[in-house]
A and B are shown apart, each in its own frame.
Chain A
Amino acid sequence: MTARIQIPASAKRGEVIEIRIAIQHPMETGFRLDDGGRAIPKNVVNKLVCRYNGIEIFRAEMGSGIAANPFLDFFTVAEASGELVFDWVDDRGQTGSERVKLTVSG
Chain B
Amino acid sequence: MSAAPWRALLFCALAVSSLVCQAQRVAIKPQPLKSGLEFTGAEVRELQQDDFANPGMLWVTRGETLWREAAGREGKSCAGCHGDVKASMQGAATRYPRIDAGSSLLINLDGRIQQCRERRQQAEPFKYESPELLALTAYIGLQSRGMPMNAVIDWQNRHNFEAGRAMYYRRMGQMNLSCAQCHQDNWGKKLGPETISQGHGVAYPIYRLEWQTMGSLHRRFRSCLSGVRAELLPLGSPEFLDLELYLASRAGGLTIETPGVRR
Contact = CB atoms under 8 A, between A and B. Distances in A.
A8 interface: no
A4 B213 contact: no
Contacts of A20: 52-53
Contacts of A27: 212
A55 to B, nearest CB: 25
Contacts of A26: 212-213
B112 interface: no
A105 interface: no
Contacts of B53: 20, 22, 71
B42 to A, nearest CB: 18
B62 interface: yes
Contacts of B176: none
Interface in A1-29: 2-4, 6, 20, 22-24, 26-27
Interface residues on B, range: 10 to 19
Interface residues of B, dominant DSSP: helix
A104 interface: no
A68 interface: yes
Nearest to A67: B212
A46 interface: no
A4 B62 contact: no
A6 B55 CA distance: 14
A69 B212 CA distance: 8
Interface residues on A, range: 10 to 19
A22 B58 contact: yes
Interface string A62-84: 00000111010000000000000
B57 interface: yes
Contact of B57 (A4, A23, A67, A68): A4
B212 A22 contact: no
B212 A2 contact: no
Contacts of A71: 53, 55
B61 interface: yes
B55 A69 contact: yes
A61 B58 CA distance: 21
Contact of B61 (A2, A67, A68): A2
Interface string B56-84: 01110110010000000000000000000
Nearest to A68: B212
A24 B58 contact: yes
Nearest to B131: A24
A22 B53 CA distance: 8
Pick the 8 closest A-B CB pairs, nearest first. A68-B212, A24-B58, A69-B55, A2-B62, A6-B52, A2-B58, A2-B61, A4-B61
Given A26-B213, A69-B212, A71-B53, 5 more contacts: A2-B61, A4-B52, A6-B52, A22-B57, A24-B62
